[in-house]
Structure 1
Amino acid sequence: MIALDSIIGTLNLDDEQKFITYLQKKNKRKDAKNIDLFKLLSKSTLDSKAICNQLYQTKNSNAYHALRKRLFQSLIDFTANKNLEDENSIDMQIIKYILASRTFLIQKNYQVAYKILDKAEYLADENLLYPILNEIYHTKIQYAPNYPKINLEDLIRKQKENQNKHQLEDQLNIVYAKLKTVLNSISHESKIINFEIELNDILKSTDIELNESLSFKSLYQILAIANISALVTNRYYEIESFVLKSYEILKRKKETNKQLYYQIYISYIIANTLFRNKKFTSSLNYLKEMEDLMLLKKGVYFKEFILKKTLVEALNHNYTDNQDKAISLAETILKKKHNDIESLLDLHLSLLMFYFQKGQLLKAKSVLSKFYHTDQWYIEKASIDWVIKKNVAEILLYIELESDALLISRLRSFKRSYSNYLKQIGQTRILKFLNLAEKIYKNHNYLTSKTFKTDVEEAFERNTANKEDIFVISFYAWLKQKINKGDLYKTTLKLIQKQ
């Protein structure tokens, strides 16, 4: 049976209304049930049998399955047409130019044909569409002997340059795909892999030079590879200089509107890197640049990136003593429907942290109650790193709420599930941290002892410096606050400012 639910789930409210209008125009019969089925699938929690009975007042399974297939086809057509109207409009316009030019070439109307191909070449070059450019040069070269005004050698040179750029993009695409596969093995399958060795092995087979000939897509893929490395190792400080230098090379190019999607993503990677390295003002500046790019071309990519942008923006405000704004940003954006599940999960987890740091424990618990899926489900949708952070936050919340049964259950489950993994990836400090937290809860005298303070210093202070991960600092701020008996949020900010 076709999984219509998952397809319909990708539509926002505006798309849903447009699709209903599309069906109304398409329907030739007044008794067509496709709109009724769509509304039931998008709004109702009924199962297939109940929906079938509601539509036909009987168990007419054959008619119901046929209706579902027709609705599926309509959704595919609607989605395709919508994409043609949006970001692919330039591609389609160029293809129309190529097809029209070939008609004129066959008719030997070379002057008109090459004038149209020149327009197609300009648009394809402006948008760095290498495969389409190759098709344009192929067509121009094919008919060049019939049109003496054409410089054949110049065309051949352009085609070779374009093929080199296309080949580089293909190489980067392969490298990126291989590294993403490695990352998925680490993040989603909990496999232990030496990422640096994998990275070096994959890059050995390529000869990639960072210069102004790279497209924004190629730069995005290079930066994404660096970002993957930082994500796995938590060493964002190692990629910051490379990320910024790479982007400046591309900014010098006079191509500020080319490959807009990748430009936006690059701005996001830079803003996130700077945030993780505690350079909040610079991060917010790049988020402003990201937002400006999101508004170009009538905001075609705005909805796709708004969650990512809001997430990093809220985190920056939280760590610059502007927590109320951080909470407001997260609360407001989460009231709306979105399809970016990973960013939604990150935002919910961040909001839980904001509430916890603010001392609003019941609100934090309310957010936690929304995480009702299994850990494995969250590993597949987000990553194992996300799941570990969620579990640690959950344990700390149960300690503060003095929820004995839940705390003991979660601690046992966490150690059983993730101890070996954390040891193998060299993140034993998380286990040490939880052991200290458990001792605090079980023995209140330990909290006031010299041993506790020494244990915290050994586990955390020796690892500080500007290289410490901001989220690790946030967890340890909880321990420091227990020593100083101060405000958790203020303690966190003080630790961050020391870095």
Structure 2
Amino acid sequence: MIALKSIIDTFNPEDQQKFIVYLQQKNKRKDTKNIDLFKLMTYPDLDSKTICKKLYKTDNCNAYHALRKRLFQSLIDFTANKNLEDENSVDMQIIKYILASRTYLLQKNYDIAYKILDKAERLADEHLLYPILNEIYHTKIQYAPNNPKVDIEQIIIKQKENQKKHQLEDQLNIVYAKLKSLLNTISYEGKVIDFESELESILKDYNIEINKSLSFKSLYQILAIVNISALVTNTYFEIEKFVLKSYKILKEKKDTNKQLHYQIQIVYIIANTLFRNKKFDASLKYISEMNELMHLKKGTYYKEFILKKTLVEALNLNYINQQEKAIELVENIIKKKHADIESLLDLHLSLLMFYFQKDELDKAKSVLSKFYHTDQYYIEKAGMDWVIKKNLAEILLYAEIQDDDLFYSRLKSFRRRYTKYLKQIQQNRILTFVNFAEKIYTRPEILKDKDFSKVLKSTFEWNSIQQEDIFVISFYAWLRNKTEGNSLYETTLKLIKVN
């Protein structure tokens, strides 16, 4: 049921209609229930048992499960055919050229065969399809002795150059996979690893350079690797120039929308990097570009990226004093069902933060009540960083609503579970923050002490607030606001803007 639902949930209304037509053409019998099953599964609130009864009027499990298996296979076939039509039309055309040329080569019609191979080579080279190019060069070299017009040495040179590019792409793929696995170990399993030394060690094994010969996929993977490093070390300010420069290289290429998926990924990385560096207007410009790209190719990738786009857009709006708009944006998007659980959790946590900053504590508590799973569940779904933020938000919320039992319970639980981990990753300031929060809660009179205010400011003094993480500043704003007595949202914006 889950696998079927996860596929069907990715279909937009146009895809749903196309799939129904596909099933109608495929069905040989009129009593086939696959279309009925598909339609029922587009409803988010219907469970497997209800659907079974609607189809068969009884708990006819065997027939129902057999029908589900057939529908699953149809979905796979439909998706594959759709991808061949939408994404790989060029690949398929080149493969047709290669197959046709080999037929003519076997018939010893070398002139026509090589003209077709030349055409295939131009297309494959334009689209940076290294594996297919290798097949073309392999075929050309194989039959070169039979065709005196062919310069075999020139083809060999081309093949060697192509093999280098293909090898580089493979190396990047390996590096990306290793670093992503390493990030998962840190973020989703909570293990402590010296990421920077691991990154240096992995990259040292591969000689990688950025230039225009790279494919779009390779450029994306390089940026993704850099973004992983910034995510773990909170050093987004160090990667901004590199990320923007790399995207400029990509945009200078022809027909960038031929690898649209990777382009959207890159624009998202840029928008997020600029946001984390507190360059909100610049980030929103890339969000606008991302939105335009998401609508290309009949919105093929719209559903996949809409949550990520909305998240960064709302965060930007929140920090440029458009909080109402940010809240409305998030409230509207989370009403709908989405498969991207991690982004959905990020949106809910952001909404909690917006309400908290706005002093709408009942609404913030309502959002928090939706996080009813264990911390371990959320570590696996959204990562350790998300769980730490959720716990801190929870502690602050209970402090604000003066719920003694829950405040001390969550505080004790947080220290017991995360003190060792935070010390290991050298994030002692989070523990310091929690200590200050406890002092303020247990001894509110301390806020009138000028010495306390000085100690607070000196403890959280940064060399450059521009290089400090925006979420760290947002948490600190709560402490700062307690000593100043303004609205939390105003204090947060003042800290961001003034510095």
TM surpasses 0.5: yes
1:386 aligned onto 2:386: yes
CA distance in 2 between partners of 1:415 and 1:11 (Å): 44
Counterpart of 1:409? 409
Q: Note if contact 1:87-1:300 (Cα within 8 Å) is conserved in structure 2.
A: no
Q: Distance in 2 between matches of 1:174 and 1:237?
A: 26
Counterpart CA distance in 2 for 1:48 and 1:324 is 39
Q: 1:175 Cα shift?
A: 0.8
Q: Give the structure 2 partner of residue 260 of structure 1.
A: 260
How many angstroms apart in 2 are the aligned matches of 1:228 and 1:62?
46
5 Å-filtered alignment, 1:109-148, equals 109-148=109-148
- 1:182 aligned residue: 182
* 1:66-115 Cα shifts (integer Å, max 9, x gaps): 22222221222122222222222322222222222222322333333333
Shift of 1:298: 4.0
Distance 2:427 2:114 in 1: 62
1:457 — aligned with what?
Answer: 457
Residues 23 and 35 in structure 2, CA contact (< 8 A), matched pair in contact too: yes
1:71 aligned partner:
71
Q: How many angstroms does 1:181 deviate by?
A: 0.9
Q: Separation in 2 of the partners of 1:414 and 1:213?
A: 49
Higher mean displacement: 46-55 or 474-483: 46-55
- Name the structure 2 match of 1:228: 228
Note the alpha carbon deviations across 1:136-188, whole angstroms, 9 max, x for none: 22222222333333332222222111111010011111111111111110001
8 Å CA contact 2:186, 2:192 repeated in 1: yes
Post-superposition Cα deviations, 1:347-389, rounded to whole Å, max 9, x if no partner, equal 2222221222122222322322332332222222221111111
- The C-alpha deviation readout for 1:18-59, integer Å capped at 9, x for no partner, is 333332332222222223333444437666556545543445
1:345-424 alignment, distance < 5 Å: 345-424=345-424
* Residues 56/135 of structure 1: CA separation in 2 closer, same or farther (3 Å cut): same
- Segments of 5+ residues of structure 1 without an aligned counterpart are none
**Superposition deviation, residue 214 in structure 1:** 2.0
Deviations, residues 370-427 of structure 1 (Å, cap 9, x unaligned): 3233222222222111111122122222222233333233222222222211111111
The Cα of 1:439 is off from its aligned counterpart by 2.3
State the partner residue of 2:86: 86
Deviations 1:194-220 (A, max 9, x none): 101111111121111222222222121
Residue range with higher mean Cα deviation, 233-242 or 42-51: 42-51
Matches within 5 A, 1:20-31: 20-31=20-31
Distance 1:111 1:306, change over 3 A: farther
Instruction: Report if the CA contact (8 A) 2:6-2:339 is conserved.
Output: no
In structure 2, C-alpha distance between the alignment counterparts of 1:357 and 1:260, rounded to whole Å = 37
Return the offset for 1:14.
Answer: 4.1
Q: 1:296 to 1:115 in 2, by over 3 A?
A: farther
SS of alignment partner, residue 28 of structure 2: coil
Decide whether the 8 Å contact of 1:2 with 1:69 is kept in 2.
Answer: no
Give, as a single letter, the amino acid of the residue that structure 1 aligns with 2:294: M
In the alignment, structure 2 segments of 5+ residues that lack a partner are none
Q: Where does residue 36 of structure 2 map in the other structure?
A: 36
Residue 19 of structure 1 is matched in structure 2 by 19
Amino acid across the alignment from 2:15: D
Q: 1 CA distance for matches of 2:18 and 2:384?
A: 38
Amino acid at match of 1:219: L
The equivalent residue for 1:301 is 301
Equivalent position of 1:62 in the other structure: 62
1:166 matched residue in structure 2:
166
TM-score, normalised relative to structure 1? 0.92
Q: Which amino acid aligns with 2:458?
A: E
Distance 1:212 1:338, change over 3 A: same
2:436 matched to which residue of 1?
436
The answer (yes or no) to whether the contact 2:352–2:364 under 8 Å persists in 1 is yes
Q: Which amino acid aligns with 2:220?
A: Y
Shift of 1:229: 0.9
Q: Distance in 2 between matches of 1:29 and 1:286?
A: 51
Segment of structure 1 superposing worse, 223-232 or 24-33: 24-33
Change (3 A) 1:2 1:101: farther
State the partner residue of 1:470. Answer: 470
Q: Distance in 1 between matches of 2:111 and 2:325?
A: 61
Question: Distance between the aligned counterparts of 1:16 and 1:58, measured in 2?
Answer: 27
Judge conservation of contact 1:361–1:397 (CA < 8 Å) in 2.
Answer: yes
- Listed one character per residue, the Cα deviations across residues 269-308 of structure 1 (whole Å, up to 9, x for unaligned) are 1221121111223222333333343344444333322322
Give aligned-pair identity as a percent.
73
